[in-house]
Amino acid sequence: MKKQTFSLLAARGLQAADERISLVGFASSMRSLLTELEGDSEYIGLIWSESRPRFVPDAFLIDRKKSQVVIYEIEDTHPLTIEKLERLFAFYWWLDAHYWILRVLITNRYGEVTNEIDLFHHFFAKHRKPNRKKRADVLTKRQLISLEELELNMREQFVKRCLQENAKRLTTRRHSQHR
């Protein structure tokens, strides 16, 4: 008999609420689904080692009517890691290529769904370049280089003037962008 844990109790609670939820057999279920979607079991046999999902969810549901796979992650002792999130991204695109949806639901140790991860949003947030906002309260690189070349008694005045210029330049840019 398996050791009773909150995660196992939560998973069984999910399964009791919806009998379509499975706790085991994720890889074989996904292989069957891919074979069904592709219609070519020989091809799936060739690509499976490269394209199979690289994670094991706590629970999952395949909803053929809605063309979606629902993954349940029970965050009891092991919260979702960046590595697993990366694997979920790959699986998301794998399903998306077949016009299926992946939903990732986070549950607490009691099996209550607490959140849904928007993988599309997180994928693009992770891979976009940071938006570096211009700040008026710091010197530019060019200003810092010039500051180093000044005598000590001139630096304070120079910094004040630069910060005023930066604030004026930033305000001018913001006003021109909103027109």
Per-residue confidence (pLDDT) for residue 19, from 0 to 100: 93
User: Domain map of the chain by residue range?
Assistant: 6-127, 141-177
**Among 125, 80, 126, which residue's Cα sits nearest to residue 104?**
80
Residues 40-76 have pLDDT tens digits of 788 888 878 777 888 889 999 999 999 999 999 988 7
101 has which bridge partners?
A: 68
Q: Say how many residues make up the chain.
A: 179
Higher pLDDT, 70 or 132: 70
The structure tokens listed for 177 are: 């962008």
Burial per residue of 1-23, b for 16 or more beta-carbon CB atoms within 10 angstroms, e otherwise? eeeeeebeebbebbbeeeeebbe
The reported pTM is: 0.67
Question: pLDDT value at position 29?
Answer: 93
> Tens digits of per-residue pLDDT, 133-159?
667 677 777 887 787 888 888 888 888
